[in-house]
Structure 1
Amino acid sequence: MVSTLIRRAAAKKLRANTTPHERMLWRALKELPIEGSHFRRQAPIGPYIVDFFCPAKHLIIELDGGHHNEDETAARDSTRQSWLENEGYRVIRFWNSEINSDLTAVLERIYAELYGSREAETIRLKHRRK
């Protein structure tokens, strides 16, 4: 198992070198009406570093580029997602092209994952700290 300090340093490095799609989604996530909670970006969880994480809802958002279509990368993604889901997290994935072509639809899906539907009233989310 990789030490916590190494994972935190790797996450910090990833935050400093975000992709254009990650920056676009990060700016948009900050505009969502999420009372009392927030997303973290490049957050270490177990042996992995996830793209975006809402601790209050145990929701993880992953952005995938074209290389995620390759067999080896897709297999690693599947293993990673299974581990995260077994730990109680919900994982939703978007292609980078979705961020470019229809960011509104991506945000609506995220909002529905957080609150149940696009029309749902926002509620104050509380962090579940261990």
Structure 2
Amino acid sequence: MGKFSQKFPFRVLRQRPIDNFIVDFYCAALLLVIEIDGESHFTEQGKLYDAERTGILQGYGLKVVRFTNVEVLQSFEGVCGELLGLIEGDF
């Protein structure tokens, strides 16, 4: 996570198994799941699966935030800012 990890004071794990899922990033201290979605997530089937998966993860008391690959690649600083804003506002 490079520059983001320098600004983010919490440990973030990549590819963390939770229940029957592997989430992209997980911060246990904040009960936060960060998902980075590629093209397969924008099909009807992908959207339904993501909604079900998000509901299950939220049932464990986790907050799930999603960004697209494009957002991360084209506006990494913006994504970092949004995450830091969420953390400051919600936690």
Q: What percentage of residue pairs aligned between the two structures are identical?
A: 30
2: CA distance between counterparts of 1:105 and 1:56?
Answer: 22
**19, 31, 55: which one pairs with 1:58?**
31
Q: Please, which runs of 5 or more residues in structure 2 have no aligned partner?
A: none
Query: Alpha-carbon deviation of 1:30?
Result: 2.0
1:34-58 per-position Cα deviation (integer Å, ceiling 9, x unaligned): 0xx3100000111111000110000
Q: Aligned match of 2:46 in 65, 73, 76?
A: 73
Give the 4+ runs in structure 1 shifted more than 3 A.
Answer: none
For this pair of structures, how many residues does the alignment match? 90
Alignment of 1:29-108 (within 5 A): 29-34=4-9, 37-108=10-81
Q: Give the whole-Å Cα distance in 2 for the aligned partners of 1:45 and 1:75.
A: 19
Is 1:28 the counterpart of 2:3? The answer is: yes
Asked which structure has the greater RCO (Cα within 8 Å, sep 6+), the reply is: 1
What is the one-letter code of the residue matched to 2:7? L
Displacement of 1:29: 3.3
Alpha-carbon shift at residue 101 of structure 1 (Å): 1.4
Q: How many angstroms apart in 2 are the aligned matches of 1:74 and 1:41? A: 22
One-letter identity of the residue aligned with 2:72: I
- Superposition RMSD in Å: 1.4
TM value normalised by structure 2:
0.90
Which structure's residues are more often helix, by fraction?
2
Listed as ranges, the gaps of 5+ residues in structure 1 are 1-25, 118-130
The aligned counterpart of 2:83 is 110
Structure having the higher strand fraction is 2
- TM-score normalized by structure 1? 0.64
